[in-house]
Every structure is written in C-alpha cells, then in structure tokens.
Amino acid sequence: MKQAFLNLINMMLSGMLVMLGFSSCSEGDNPEDIPLMYGSPHGSYKVSGLVTDVDGAPVKGARIVVRKYKADGQYLYFPNASDTTYTDNQGRYEREGGSGAEPSIRIVCDDPSGAYASDSTDCVLKYEGRDGMWDMGTATVKADFKLRQNPDKE
C-alpha cells in the first residue's frame, strides 16, 4: 500500500514538472513572442587544402586530422575516428563533417611514413547560410601545409 502511494505521488510530481516545462517555453504573455526552445546549435564544416614539401612537391598520403574545440581550450582527438582523411597523389585533401557549432578547429597534418615533420593550424570557423534556430550553417576552411623533412629521418 505504501509503495502504491509513493508511485502515485511520483507520477503526480512528474506531471507537474512536465506542465511547468511547457508553460515556461515563452518569454511572456505576448502571443507574438518567439518561444524559447530546447536543443543544441549545430553546424557543418568543409576543410580542404594542399600539402607540399618545402620545395613545392606534393606529399601523397599525408594524414589530415580535424580536432574539434573543447570548452577548456583543448582540442579533442579520437584516434582512428572519422575525422581523418589522407591526401591524394597531387597532395590535395578535402573533408566534410558535422559539429556542435564549435568556434574553432585544429587541423593537424602528419606523414605516416615519418619522412616529414608534423604541422598544425588552428582555424576559426565562420558559419554561413544559417537555416533555422539551431542550424548555424556551414563553415568553409582552406588550410595548406608545407612540410619540412623530419630531422630524425635525415
């Protein structure tokens, strides 16, 4: 009997919380007010560029990793994740991805063979083409790299 009474109280309290949530979705009594919405902003990004050595020769098979910005100033890295792409025979790369509308990303370029030293650049994302309340649009970034010979391999 006591358990049934507690279940009834829990259901009533849950119902009241739901009603409070729905009633607080606008800023005032004016029906023309834009309702406040729950959700997370999102956007997409397109990164592309060219990877060459210091003499201008394309670097084939260089690994490009897009690291997403984290609130504490660090950049997230997930090994073997879908945020990685490789350059083609002409040293070009292109990568598209989704984001939580990060303010910036870090693009890291390294050579899996070890012949060239790694390089990276931080890019501020400027979203364009906003569509709706939460879609921030798409940010396009071009980042070229000139890799130096790895001093350990010389």
Q: What is the pLDDT of residue 16?
A: 74
Which tokens hold the place of 111? Answer: 């050579």
Three-state secondary structure call for residue 11: helix
Per-residue pLDDT band for 71 (boundaries 50, 70, 90) equals low
- d(CA 97, CA 46) in angstroms, rounded, equals 7
Q: Which of 96, 121, 105, 98 lies closest to 46 in space, CA to CA?
A: 96
pLDDT beyond 70 at 19: no
Amino acid at 52: T
Q: Is the whole model's pTM more than 0.75, yes or no?
A: no
The CA distance from 43 to 129, in Å, is 10
